[in-house]
């Protein structure tokens, strides 16, 4: 026989209230009252979610956090770090381009040609006769 979801919800809410009370009056980092209330919340949630599934084939968007899951995540991070350990240890780090690989575009004469064309045009746009604002038609840097 399945549990009533409404009764399981009431028990879950009650466990949350007890957890709040224990947390608000805790006496140290690993207060046994808080730890017990935490475990009660997790168990009450599991009962509620099971009752909800049995009655309505529905779940909540919540999950129970446990230290075991955290340990599993740490193991996954270790595997990721090991992937980088396999790289060539004698390889030199990237330090940027050498001077001969870098081209300085500041001496580029192409932008001067565009400036000369703008000065000769008398500042008028050939399409509609409107004046262009200063610097119009020049490439932005």
Summarised one tens digit per residue, pLDDT across range 64-107 is: 887 775 566 666 655 555 555 555 566 676 666 666 666 666 65
84/123 Cα distance (integer angstroms): 60
CA 40/CA 34 separation, integer angstroms: 10
Per the DSSP assignment, residues forming a β-bridge with 131 are 124
Block residue for tokens 């790289």: 87
pTM here?
0.48
The two three-digit tokens of residue 54, written as one number: 């049995």
pLDDT for res 57 = 96
Structure confidence by residue, pLDDT tens digits, 58-67:
999 999 887 7
């Amino acid at each position: 026989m399945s549990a009533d979801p409404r009764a399981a919800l009431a028990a879950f809410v009650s466990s949350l209230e007890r957890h709040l009370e224990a947390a608000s009056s805790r006496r140290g980092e690993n207060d046994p009252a808080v730890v017990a209330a935490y475990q009660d919340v997790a168990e009450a949630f599991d009962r509620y979610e099971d009752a909800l599934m049995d009655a309505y084939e529905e779940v909540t968007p919540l999950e129970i956090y446990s230290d075991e899951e955290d340990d599993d995540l740490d193991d996954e991070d270790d595997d990721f770090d090991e992937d980088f350990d396999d790289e060539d240890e004698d390889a030199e780090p990237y330090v940027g381009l050498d001077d001969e690989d870098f081209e300085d575009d500041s001496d580029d004469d192409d932008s001067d040609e565009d400036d000369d064309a703008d000065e000769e045009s008398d500042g008028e746009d050939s399409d509609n006769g409107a004046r262009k604002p200063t610097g119009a038609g020049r490439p932005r840097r």
